[in-house]
């Protein structure tokens, strides 16, 4: 049906449907942003732990150092 042939009621209904879809998309966008923030925090923690692991990889255990002394 062409836009000019639609009744006012049909256009109002279409507008209401579009508003519902937009509200749903906004909800998913908020959820996506929350998940993204959590993942970013987890990535930072992972990077910190990886860096710590690389720093401590070549460190001798205290017991081994004490035996040498």
Which of 1-10, 23-32, 49-58 is modeled with the greatest confidence?
23-32
Average confidence (pLDDT) over 38-52: 96
16-25 pLDDT tens trace: 999 999 999 9
- Which pLDDT score is estimated for 29? 98
Query: What is the rounded CA–CA span in Å between residue 16 and residue 6?
Result: 15
- Which pLDDT score is estimated for 14? 97
2-18 pLDDT tens trace: 667 899 999 999 999 99
Residue 43 has pLDDT above 60, yes or no: yes
Q: Which two tokens stand for residue 20?
A: 């519902």
């Amino acid at each position: 049906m062409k836009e000019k042939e639609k009744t006012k009621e049909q256009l109002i209904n279409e507008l209401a449907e579009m508003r519902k879809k937009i509200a749903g998309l906004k909800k998913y966008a908020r959820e996506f942003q929350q998940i993204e923030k959590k993942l970013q925090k987890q990535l930072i923690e992972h990077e910190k732990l990886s860096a710590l692991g690389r720093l401590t990889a070549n460190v001798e255990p205290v017991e081994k150092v004490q035996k040498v002394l």
